[in-house]
Structure 1
């Protein structure tokens, strides 16, 4: 037992290698999705809607469709040919940006659906390389913070290409993808070199297997109430993240403050470093239930932080920079643990023979459905409110509801664990 609990030097070296590789890989992948958000795309409307809004909604709809498809695809995915699949899906997304640049605006909007759909499959594929290990918390922390860091870097690189190379808004996404294409090839090669979980990993975290439909139905039947609460939490935080990512630059412009190109990478790097340390430290908690339960309280603290700093911002007590940083920190205190720890420890706690991908894609599908609904409500119903004011109101609503749902989930799963212990006795 002592040997099982101790991390060996080999495990540390393999974990650090895997963490670095998946971080760099997913950072490269983000450049194919998020770069276009930094541009304003002014001058066009479509069906009476602002052109950029149409672009954002179209991409999110592609992402949403991908997540619903991925519930089955990722759950049943085998472990062979994953590197080639990453390359093919990213290539399709990149070519969609080429079509976007060549076709005339605003009738090129549909290209973003074919950008979002293939990219939506990639998280489940990449996470399958690292789940089910005693060091998964550390490795997945690096993967998860790449969401934040990659988004900021993609925006900063995209802004640089427009401001320094005079690349147009329409060619900017394709050029940004080209910049990251060589690193992408390198990290696809390196991710294939990550060794499979060891016997000690399987003993502590359970074996990770494809999940046929019967096993998926059983899982939902046994833990449905708690999973519904968690999906609600994820839906709320996905909406916040999508609006913040898509309109962060627009919200800065609405404040009237001068914005340097580096501000996106600056705030997201600070958040990334904090989250990396926090989530990676969870690897030291060997007890799966304790880690699963603690994750709920970390997420609850994220919703609370969003509420408090937004109240302070509305009262003029903090600057836009500090508010944007703090709200980002709060929402990622929910989003990152959800993506990296929550379901990993859930499966290990309740000894479920399955994989994290199914649960995440189930939550993601409804998360992006919520994002589409919110974006449509702002635009289709022509709400006469700025993105800045819309977002602050959204943060307040999400904070209160998310906090309640998170604590409700914690109570539900505590009851489930107590019942399982009682049945064993």
Structure 2
């Protein structure tokens, strides 16, 4: 699919860096924000009277969709890391169209079959982030662009839940038709966002010098890269697993957590997440001001450690609270959200990006993104299954959030310190047996559409 305007792309390439950054942020934010309208709205319904196989129906639906999403991340390790530039836009639209179509039979299928269609809904959506991020990576301002992209998945989750809740409460849309109806409202802005992404020019020579060439990354190169830094990358992925577990519980069970506080207002989702996004994006974009790659990586990991420390402190402060006011619950959810999303966003905007730039590998960020995401979502599926089988219908989601914070935060702080030391030593000592590094002359022979050297 080609709907790039050479005129607009050239003007953007020749424009001030701030113009290109603003365009890219709007494009990425719009596209990924709209994707959430096809993924998250069903979670706002609680399906309170439905129980299957001894489990709450919402648990089964979440399990099905996240299983598809996790499998998508596994597939994406290969597909996204090897994807050429000319396939990105068509892939984004195709993946979302498949996900939306799956919501149509979901609306009318019998209860026992609905989880199958939510699995099919999640299966394509896990690869959308990598397609969008590929337009942004490898630039001196990647952190600023990616911060806008990551703002979308913080704000969109709450906003599309609010839209879904309004459709049910104010317009009488059923809880099973609501996901399809919500998605239908977002197709027009999605098309605009993808069109804008297509106009973004490839990284400049100055970008290449600062951040290394980004190109398709084949299987042999991926294995070589991982073996060269196996210990550090493994701990980094384990940190992503812990982050994803914590974030998924807070996000996917937000309706139940707010209900546990005694608050059931549709607008609360968008209000809390918009505030979280504003703080998180301001903090995560700081790294764009830091030119030295290890220094930016160090700042990102330090803020990650501070985020986990804040989550632990917030949890201990509110531990034992039995009577929640709306103000106290709102403050708790916002503080926990900021504490979680600062590290989560930094992984996506700075940490992976600067590791590649620091080590100067011929690679792209898609490999690390999808390796971490697959491990994280697979662990989420296992946690959901285990917790719900053990506690069945008596699960207290507020208590679960507290216990996760208490267990995950100290482990993550220790892992953060280890990763900082590991990559400090690795970046200080030249490595042998690295995959081929591409220089500027080689980069100039890259086809801008395919990313393949001519």
The TM-score with structure 2 as length reference comes to: 0.89
Determine if the alignment matches structure 1 residue 267 to structure 2 residue 276: no
Query: For 1:406, what is the secondary structure of its paired residue?
Result: helix
Determine if the alignment matches structure 1 residue 344 to structure 2 residue 353: yes
Q: 1:18 aligns with which of 16, 21, 24?
A: 24
The residue number in structure 2 matching 1:411 is 421
Q: 1:281 aligns with which of 282, 286, 291?
A: 286
**Is the contact between residue 303 and residue 402 of structure 1 (CA under 8 Å) also seen in structure 2?**
yes
**Is the contact between residue 343 and residue 356 of structure 1 (CA under 8 Å) also seen in structure 2?**
yes
**Is the contact between residue 246 and residue 405 of structure 2 (CA under 8 Å) also seen in structure 1?**
yes
Determine if the alignment matches structure 1 residue 332 to structure 2 residue 341: yes
The residue number in structure 2 matching 1:153 is 159
CA distance in 2: counterparts of 1:163 and 1:248, whole angstroms: 18
Tell me how far 1:8 sits from its aligned partner: 9.0
CA displacement, residues 332-389 of structure 1 (integer Å, 9 cap, x when unaligned): 0110000111111111111111000001100111001110111011112336431111
Pairs within 5 Å for 1:338-377: 338-377=347-386
The residue number in structure 2 matching 1:390 is 400
**Is the contact between residue 45 and residue 106 of structure 1 (CA under 8 Å) also seen in structure 2?**
no
CA distance in 1: counterparts of 2:105 and 2:311, whole angstroms: 39
The residue number in structure 2 matching 1:225 is 231
Q: 2:145 aligns with which of 129, 139, 150?
A: 139
Q: 1:248 aligns with which of 227, 241, 254?
A: 254
CA distance in 2: counterparts of 1:102 and 1:191, whole angstroms: 35
Moved more, 346-355 or 7-16: 7-16
CA distance in 2: counterparts of 1:420 and 1:227, whole angstroms: 17
Query: For 2:186, what is the secondary structure of its paired residue?
Result: helix
The residue number in structure 2 matching 1:3 is none
RMSD of the alignment, in Å? 1.7
The residue number in structure 1 matching 2:447 is none
CA distance in 2: counterparts of 1:307 and 1:83, whole angstroms: 41
- Relative to 1, partners in 2 of residues 1:9 and 1:184: Cα closer, same or farther, differing over 3 Å? closer
Q: 2:300 aligns with which of 280, 295, 298?
A: 295
CA displacement, residues 201-240 of structure 1 (integer Å, 9 cap, x when unaligned): 1111111011111111111111110111111110001011
The residue number in structure 2 matching 1:79 is 85
**Structure 1 unmatched runs, 5+:** 1-6
Query: For 2:201, what is the secondary structure of its paired residue?
Result: coil
The residue number in structure 2 matching 1:401 is 411
CA distance in 1: counterparts of 2:267 and 2:259, whole angstroms: 15
The residue number in structure 2 matching 1:215 is 221
Pairs within 5 Å for 1:31-42: 31-42=37-48
CA distance in 1: counterparts of 2:419 and 2:286, whole angstroms: 23
Moved more, 329-338 or 40-49: 40-49
**Is the contact between residue 287 and residue 299 of structure 2 (CA under 8 Å) also seen in structure 1?**
no
**Is the contact between residue 294 and residue 358 of structure 2 (CA under 8 Å) also seen in structure 1?**
yes
Tell me how far 1:129 sits from its aligned partner: 0.5
CA distance in 2: counterparts of 1:69 and 1:421, whole angstroms: 29
The residue number in structure 2 matching 1:47 is 53
Query: For 1:411, what is the secondary structure of its paired residue?
Result: helix
Tell me how far 1:190 sits from its aligned partner: 1.4
CA displacement, residues 288-307 of structure 1 (integer Å, 9 cap, x when unaligned): 11001111101111111110
**Is the contact between residue 44 and residue 106 of structure 1 (CA under 8 Å) also seen in structure 2?**
no
**Is the contact between residue 37 and residue 245 of structure 1 (CA under 8 Å) also seen in structure 2?**
no
